[in-house]
Amino acid sequence: MTVRVGVIGVGMIGQDHIRRLTGVLAGARVVAVADVDPERARQVAGQAIGVTVHATGLDVIADDDVDAVLVASWGATHEEYVVACIQAGKPVFCEKPLAPSGEAAGRIVDAEVAAGRRLVQLGFMRRYDPGYLALREVVAGGSIGAALLVHCAHRNPTVQPHYVADMAITDTAVHEFDVVRWLLDEEITAVTVHRPRPNRHGGDVQDPLLLLLETESGAFVDLETSVNIRYGYDIRTEVVGEDGTVELGPVAPVVVRREGIQGSPIAADWQERFEKAYDVELQHWIDSVVAGTAVGPSTWDGYAAAVVSDAGLTSLHRGGRVPVALRDKPGLYLKDR
């Protein structure tokens, strides 16, 4: 079976996923697109044969020739499209964040619970990165004992002009909110955001931030977000256990020595660093559509990350420690890990 995919939102990552679905992965074909900018949609559709351009994302979902939908529009638009997919019974891959608030994400949980089956895979691609998978295997295997602390850094060389202070929480740190829950297999219970001395490259954006997350078991997670660090895109995670530690290894496959210096290349951006993870996550999605059961990061994971983001924003703006209040986990998501 070839899965016929409709894509809503053909900006940066939408186009990258179309390239992946069309030329890299097996088992899928892009048959329809829509974008709030119709000219952009026409341009993207024109690069392949047999791609229909629809006026709206809802038209993509309603298209009988579309088996499954990929949502890559702005986060604030995800709720409408993901709920419409669930109501139409169509599998949907939704880029992160699931929604801009815990309240909006909760409505998507309600829709999927009402449908009685998982239809959503969320784009938390770090779960498919070979380094993170190896890290999790060590933590879950128990050889370093119970996890007590996690040290994380999320560093970008620069950000786009539309980046505002809140995005350090909702767009940047949200990846760690998910990956920490997944690594430790527990929920985050409180967030405190500190504002260190600002980077002179940051302009109006408060940068860096230092977040302290607390988890159900009492583990503490410190997370640095630096989005104007200039030297490269650098993601770090180290778990400190009772008997040892485990951390992401160097990503570069080679060490270069020249002119008196030894070094390894650093990724320029997130596309380069996580290229393999994006490929694996999307192949996983196609395979799950064929199999008829959604797998991977779920609506619940998107909801939990959104509620942690809410708490992070409150702490960023009002200061202090903010508890995270999740609703009870519906049975639909209990067997996910």
**Could you list the residues that contact ligand NAP (CB under 6 A)?**
8-14, 34-37, 40, 57, 72-75, 77, 95-96, 123, 125, 171, 270
∠ CA 154-280-308 to the nearest 5 degrees?
40
Q: Which residue is nearest to ligand NAP (CB)?
A: 11
> Which of residues 12 and 295 has its CB atom nearest to ligand NAP in the complex?
12
Q: Considering the complex, what minimum distance in angstroms separates the CB of residue 305 from ligand NAP? A: 12
> Which of residues 270 and 300 has its CB atom nearest to ligand NAP in the complex?
270
Q: Considering the complex, what minimum distance in angstroms separates the CB of residue 271 from ligand NAP? A: 8
Q: Considering the complex, what minimum distance in angstroms separates the CB of residue 304 from ligand NAP? A: 16
Q: Considering the complex, what minimum distance in angstroms separates the CB of residue 136 from ligand NAP? A: 18
> Which of residues 9 and 91 has its CB atom nearest to ligand NAP in the complex?
9
**Can you list the positions of beta strands (E) in 10-77?**
28-34, 52-53, 68-71
Closest of 80, 51, 92, 66 to residue 6, by C-alpha:
66
The residues near 5 (Cβ < 8 Å, ≥ 6 apart) are 21, 28, 29, 30, 31, 66, 67, 68, 69, 70
The residues near 109 (Cβ < 8 Å, ≥ 6 apart) are 299, 300, 303, 327, 330
Q: Considering the complex, what minimum distance in angstroms separates the CB of residue 140 from ligand NAP? A: 23
Number of H helices, E strands in the chain: 11, 15
Closest of 167, 202, 192 to residue 318, by C-alpha:
192
Q: Considering the complex, what minimum distance in angstroms separates the CB of residue 175 from ligand NAP? A: 7
> How many whole angstroms separate alpha carbon 211 and alpha carbon 236?
14
In angstroms, how far is the first alpha carbon of the chain from the final one?
A: 28
> Which of residues 53 and 246 has its CB atom nearest to ligand NAP in the complex?
53
> Which of residues 41 and 147 has its CB atom nearest to ligand NAP in the complex?
41
Residue 226's H or E segment, with its range, is strand 220-226
> How many whole angstroms separate alpha carbon 335 and alpha carbon 253?
36
Tokens of 255: 């060490």
> Which of residues 89 and 161 has its CB atom nearest to ligand NAP in the complex?
161
Closest of 230, 241, 154 to residue 199, by C-alpha:
230
Closest of 100, 138, 126 to residue 247, by C-alpha:
138
Q: Considering the complex, what minimum distance in angstroms separates the CB of residue 100 from ligand NAP? A: 9
> Which of residues 118 and 126 has its CB atom nearest to ligand NAP in the complex?
126
> How many whole angstroms separate alpha carbon 283 and alpha carbon 302?
20
Q: Considering the complex, what minimum distance in angstroms separates the CB of residue 244 from ligand NAP? A: 30
> Which of residues 127 and 147 has its CB atom nearest to ligand NAP in the complex?
127
